[in-house]
Chains A and B, each alone.
Chain A
């Protein structure tokens, strides 16, 4: 079974631009979560989508948004990029049922904002 796939792996943008990151979950996983990982802050939860609906949201500004498609693939968008948005963005998928609450992570997209 294929794992969680994130594209692209690396991205370089300039301040003020916008960016879209993509995540394809493991087949059968309907929940997709996004995290921002930085050296100083560790993993910070951005949001979770389940069946095309945002179910949870972390404490990030409205410039960060996401969506999920009917095939469970998810995209994350960051508008008006700032230097501080440089980070590794991780996507994780799971089957949100009791006893199956393990998250499986992709390799991440490393975003550099210049």
Chain B
């Protein structure tokens, strides 16, 4: 079947710290992978995506690399800011018909 597993939260970091949020997946075929972010009181926004193995998605200083050999798509940022505080969701779609989301990882960045 298809599923996404994210690291448990919540995660609390100091400003300018390095961020990693782990995401691994199980999927049939060759899925597209996504990271979405949800700020308080809002819906989900696409942060970045990768559509094939070894692709690197990047946006707003965040990066994630599609690793087929380890079925992973870990989210990283070199220096987090207070404004990055949000809930982050890893997701996949194996066939463009249905999306599967992880349970979300809450990040709080303190000054």
Contacts and interface: CB of A to CB of B under 8 A. Distances in A.
Interface of A: 4, 6, 33, 35, 41-43, 45, 48, 55-56, 90, 92, 96-99, 101-108
Among B36, B99, B103, chain A packs the most CB atoms within 10 A around the CB of B99
Interface of B: 32, 34, 36, 41-46, 49, 51, 89, 93, 96-104
Contact of A43 (B34, B89, B97): B89
Contacts, number: 53
Among A43, A56, A92, A97, chain B packs the most CB atoms within 10 A around the CB of A43
A101 B96 contact: yes
B96 A106 contact: no
The 6 closest A-B pairs by CB, nearest first: A42-B103, A105-B43, A43-B101, A101-B96, A105-B44, A107-B43
Given A101-B32, A101-B93, A45 B98 contact: yes
